[in-house]
Copies of this chain bind each other. A is one copy, B any other.
């Protein structure tokens, strides 16, 4: 399959190139960047020297790029992917958008949280979280790849919500991410001396991943979910740990909780159940497409606490995109993704 990467100079774009290098069935035909047009990729990302030395193109001629590609991966700020989606609507090219433009059923929710008018409301689109939506992804024209925090959070809570084991009005998600999640543009808050040996929260009650998590959990449980999601910045490059809290319904015990996880995930290669009482660590998944999950029950407060860890650039972005690509192509889902985590 011929694939192109639109917005290749963001961290997710670079990670896509890393992963696709080892994919036997994908050939990268175009890579684009508006800020570095005509420059070899390896000038912008010197770690790719000798591997990707091809020149970055502009997306101005997106129709030609689309015509050359079976799939395009898009890694652009909110509002841009939908323009491309509309432009390529009548072409056979399929789209995997790593941004948020195609993640919402209800584009009004998107517009409210992203402050951008949606211009492709009638797009046939599928929410790209393989473990929940595999069958729909198979034939989708447009896949709205799930976000990083959302992937970790939804996968952590899905079994509990699906089996109605928790009161969905009591969900609190306290999530922590490495700084690569903030992108590659240099700004004072992400200047090395400011963040190093430092820890902080941001986006309390306002982060855009909130409605995405709520949408997925509402879908799964059939009950409208509103929750608190609080992101934090960890002084490290990669990795997300999501700590999720919810009140157990009456009568729910450890066995029921544990069973829900096994029922839902035992056949999922990329989900590693660490079990009751376990502590996933972000380094255990670094560089890989795994999502590790452990759960705890506090009998004093009757709360369940779920911990999930992913690499935000892999299972939270580029790896998930390749997983969706594999499903959409009818390939083994692990193709190009059977990588061991990089430790230590």
Contacts and interface: CB of A to CB of B under 8 A. Distances in A.
A132 interface: no
Contacts of A338: 21-22
Q: Which of A179, A243, A286 has the most CB of B within 10 A?
A: A243
A92 interface: no
Contact of A228 (B194, B281, B287, B303): B303
Given A237-B344, A296-B205, A287 B287 contact: yes
Nearest to A311: B342
Nearest to A247: B170
A11 interface: yes
B342 A18 contact: yes
| Identical chains bound together, number | 4
A17 interface: yes
Contacts of A196: 179, 192, 196-197, 235-237, 344
B236 A300 contact: no
B232 A176 contact: yes
Given A186-B187, A204-B296, A204-B307, A272 B197 contact: no
A185 B185 CA distance: 13
Contact of A230 (B45, B226, B232, B243): B243
Contacts of A204: 279, 296, 298, 305, 307
Interface in A264-299: 269, 272, 274, 279-288, 290, 292, 296-298
A283 B11 CA distance: 14
A62 interface: no
A309 B344 CA distance: 18
Contacts of A117: none
A47 B340 contact: yes
**Top 4 nearest A-B pairs by Cβ distance?**
A198-B283, A205-B298, A193-B344, A174-B174
